[in-house]
Structure 1
Amino acid sequence: MLKNKVIMITGASKGLGKALALQFAKEGAKLALCARNVEPLKEVEKEVKALGAEVMILSADVSNPRDVDRFVSVAEEVFGRIDVLFNNASVFGPGPTLLGDYPDEEFINVLRINTLNPFFMTKRILPGMLNRQSGSIINLTSEAGKTGFAEWGAYGVSKFAVEGLTQIWADELAETGVRVNMVDPGEMDTDMHDKAVPLCDYPLANPEDHLDVFLYLASKESVKENGNRFEAQTFQWERGEQNE
């Protein structure tokens, strides 16, 4: 379905990023993956190669524009283009904390990582997509990006920012052939959720349970989607026969 599409995923060493990498490998895509910690990323690389997919990995902090440029430049050199960008990388911060008690440096760091990386990545990748008049950019949001939750602090603020950033990019890129959308994956059994809800006493989805929305947004069936917000766990999709 997505054979030979070049998919770029940030924060691909664990959780949803890893689940996306493995699923797109099964679909025959070529993968450009990054994370700050290279050792678990190497394990993902092994699993992706075992599925027969072409892959390149790079250790990168995508809130740093130099790392962003290096990552995208290497990927473009290896694969020639980027068809789909998943801005997945993010951090939660110190755990549930009242805003009045939130450490200043932690607040700044969470905002820096979670809001700058989708800005820098999108800005760097756009020239190639605009030149081809084709491309899909998917930003990861959260319920906390449209509802303020006590003690979610800088993470919640950053996701409000990501939703605004997505809407602005989408409006500016309307009619260019490049589309920008966002996905709320819902609560999942991940390290980040453990930090956000340390005393969770209800069942959670696994990262690989609800990936159809990401496949849809990477496919040509979503070419008319721009500036929209999707919820992964309620999304339903019947794949078209001519999808690719």
Structure 2
Amino acid sequence: MTDSERNLDGIRVALTGGTSGLGLALMDELLARGATVAFVARRAQLVASVAATRTKVAGIVGDIAKKDDIYPLALQINGVLGGVDVLVNNASSLGPVPLALLGDTQCEDFEAALATNVLGPFRLTKALLGSLAAAAREHGGAVVLNVSSDAAVEPYPTWGAYGASKAALRQMSRIWNAELVAQRIRMLSLDPGDMDTPLHALAAPGDDPATLKRPADVAHEFADAIASALHELRNAATHGGS
């Protein structure tokens, strides 16, 4: 990619889970490329701390796992950004640790994983779909990035709730991508791999951080994928393609 293709000046991004790990690294990468970001996270003190040290950022407190939070979040996102070109569904939950075999997993814990990892992204995407479609009509394209995992395809013991929820998210992304082609909305599902993040430390406390990917490196790759998709969509729109 050229530098101009990587540039995200004027791009309005909504991102969930932006106070640590990949979410924070990706937000910083997007900001460095010129984007404006509204991020969502649950803990008010962390949200305020992250937002206070960055420009072109709005922090919004909310929990995507809670149905009643979704439309207020969407209203706030649209209010601060004035529209949405890119949505990043990054927030996710492992569930209680240490992770349990499926036969030992409580139904409530399985439901909680689905609420955060599947229903949350579904509801927020649905709530912002009108804004994404409007951006696509005006500028030629919009992008949704759902952060996936290799647990979506590999049957790791004790990762049942998380893996099943990520598999559902992956397939939902594929279906939505097929359905939204005509509206020039691209749905990406990307697996970051094993990273040195708080979430990975909870899941696999024995792993050596030196063997894991750096969130900043993955953030660069994901930002490239977002920029490439936007460039492709908008270039095709300019030249009359589909």
Pairs aligned (count): 220
Query: Can you list the C-alpha shifts for 1:21-53, whole angstroms capped at 9, x where unaligned?
Result: 11112112111011011211222212322xxxx
Structure with greater helix share of residues = 2
CA contact 2:22–2:219 (8 Å) conserved in 1: no
Query: Secondary structure of the residue that 2:70 maps to in structure 1?
Result: helix
Mapped pair 1:223 → 2:199: no
Provide the C-alpha distance between the structure 2 equivalents of 1:47 and 1:200, rounded to a whole number of angstroms: 31
Mapped pair 1:211 → 2:214: no
1:142 counterpart (116, 138, 149): 149
CA contact 1:83–1:135 (8 Å) conserved in 2: yes
Query: Can you list the C-alpha shifts for 1:200-238, whole angstroms capped at 9, x where unaligned?
Result: 1461122112223322233233439xxxxxxxxxxxxxx
2:130 counterpart (127, 130, 150): 127
Kindly report structure 1 stretches of 4+ aligned residues shifted beyond 6 Å: none
**Are residues 172 and 198 of structure 1, via their aligned partners in 2, closer, same or farther at CA, if it must alter by over 3 Å?**
same
Mapped pair 1:200 → 2:210: no
Provide the C-alpha distance between the structure 1 equivalents of 2:89 and 2:45, rounded to a whole number of angstroms: 20
Query: Can you list the C-alpha shifts for 1:75-114, whole angstroms capped at 9, x where unaligned?
Result: 2122211110000010101232111111222111111111
TM-score (ref. length: structure 1): 0.85
Provide the C-alpha distance between the structure 1 equivalents of 2:186 and 2:11, rounded to a whole number of angstroms: 16
Provide the C-alpha distance between the structure 1 equivalents of 2:225 and 2:76, rounded to a whole number of angstroms: 24
CA contact 2:93–2:113 (8 Å) conserved in 1: yes
- Where in structure 2 are the equivalents of 1:138-217 lying within 5 Å? 138-201=145-208, 203-217=211-225
Provide the C-alpha distance between the structure 2 equivalents of 1:190 and 1:111, rounded to a whole number of angstroms: 21
Provide the C-alpha distance between the structure 1 equivalents of 2:62 and 2:83, rounded to a whole number of angstroms: 19
Measured after TM superposition, the shift of residue 132 of structure 1 is 3.5
Stretch of structure 1 that moved more, 73-82 or 135-144 = 73-82
Query: Can you list the C-alpha shifts for 1:141-182, whole angstroms capped at 9, x where unaligned?
Result: 000011111111200110111111101111111121111011
CA contact 1:92–1:110 (8 Å) conserved in 2: yes
The CA RMSD measured in Å over matched residues stands at 1.6
Stretch of structure 1 that moved more, 106-115 or 201-210 = 201-210
Partner of 1:106 in structure 2?
109
Supply the AA of the counterpart residue of 1:189: D
Query: Secondary structure of the residue that 1:223 maps to in structure 2?
Result: helix
Supply the AA of the counterpart residue of 1:172: E
Flag structure 2 segments of 5+ consecutive residues without an equivalent.
1-6, 235-242
Partner of 2:90 in structure 1?
88
Flag structure 1 segments of 5+ consecutive residues without an equivalent.
225-244
Provide the C-alpha distance between the structure 2 equivalents of 1:5 and 1:14, rounded to a whole number of angstroms: 22
Query: Secondary structure of the residue that 1:150 maps to in structure 2?
Result: coil
Q: Which has the higher contact order (CA 8 A, sep 6+)?
A: 2
Partner of 2:66 in structure 1?
64
